[in-house]
Amino acid sequence: MVERGSNSGDFSIPRDLFSPEHEQYRASVRRFVESELVPHHDAWEKAGIVPRDVWRRAGEIGMLCPSIPEEYGGFGGDWLYNVVVIEELWRHGISGPGFMVHSDLCAPYILAWGSEEVKQRYLPKMVTGEIIGALGMTEPGAGSDVKTIRTRAVREGDDYVIDGQKVYISNGQLADIVVTACKTDPDGGARGVSLIVVPTDTPGFARGRNLDKIGMKAQDTSELFYAAVRVPAGNLLGGEGRGFSMMMTKLAQERLAQAVRSAVVCEQAIQWTVAYTRERKAFGGTIADFQNTQFTLATLATETMAARVFTDWCIKRFLDGELSAVDAAKVKLLVTDLHCKVVDQCLQFFGGYGYMTEYPIARAYVDARITRIAGGAAEVMKQIIGRDLFENAA
Q: Are 284 and 373 found together in one domain?
A: yes
Domain-terminating residue out of 94, 128, 162: 128
* Cβ partners under 8 Å of residue 119, min gap 6: 72, 110, 111
In a domain, 41, yes or no: yes
Q: Is residue 229 part of a domain?
A: yes
* Residues 256, 258, 261, 263, CA torsion sign: negative
Q: What is the CATH number of the domain that holds 214?
A: 2.40.110.10
Residue 282 sits in the same domain as residue 370: yes
Total domains, the chain = 3
Note the pLDDT tens digit of each residue in 370-380. Answer: 999 988 899 99
pLDDT tens digits, 129-143: 999 999 999 998 776
Could you tell me if 276 and 193 lie in one domain? no
pLDDT recorded at residue 143? 64
Q: Tell me what pLDDT residue 394 has.
A: 56
Residue 383 is part of a domain; what is its CATH number?
Answer: 1.20.140.10
Is residue 91 domain-resident?
Answer: yes
Q: Is 165 part of any domain?
A: yes
| Pair (88, 174) in one structural domain | no
Q: Considering the domain boundaries, does residue 193 fall inside one?
A: yes
Domain-located, residue 93: yes
Last residue of a domain, one of 95, 128, 161: 128
Q: Range of 262's domain?
A: 245-391
Give dist(CA 64, CA 250) in Å, integer. 18
Q: Any idea which residues carry the catalytic annotation?
A: 254
Residue 2 carries which DSSP code? P
Q: Over the range 28-46, which residues count as b (16 or more CB within 10 Å of their CB) and which as e?
A: ebbebbeeebbebbeebbe
Please report whether residue 14 resides in a domain.
Answer: no
Rounded CA separation 218/392 (Å): 44
Q: Which residues of the chain have pLDDT under 70?
A: 1-12, 143-145, 393-394
The SS3 of residue 153 is strand
Q: Which of 128, 156, 177 is the last residue of a domain?
A: 128
- The 10s digit of each residue's pLDDT in 224-251 is 999 999 999 999 999 999 998 898 888 8
Statement to judge: residues 263 and 374 lie in one domain: yes
Predicted pLDDT at 9: 40
Please tell me whether residues 255 and 284 are part of one structural domain. Answer: yes
Q: Is residue 294 part of a domain?
A: yes
Residues 141, 84 within the same domain: no
- The model's pTM: 0.91
- What is the pLDDT at residue 3? 43
CB 129 within 8 A of CB 59: yes
Indicate if 219 and 262 belong to the same structural domain: no
- Do 256 and 213 fall into the same domain? no
pLDDT of residue 130: 97
Q: What is the CATH number of the domain that holds 115?
A: 1.10.540.10
> Do 176 and 64 share a structural domain?
no
Q: Residues 249, 369: one domain? A: yes
3-state SS track over 243-306: HHHHHHHHHHHHHHHHHHHHHHHHHHHHHHHHHHHHHCEECCEEHHHCHHHHHHHHHHHHHHHH
Say yes or no: 284 and 200 in one domain.
no
Q: For residue 358, what pLDDT is reported? A: 87
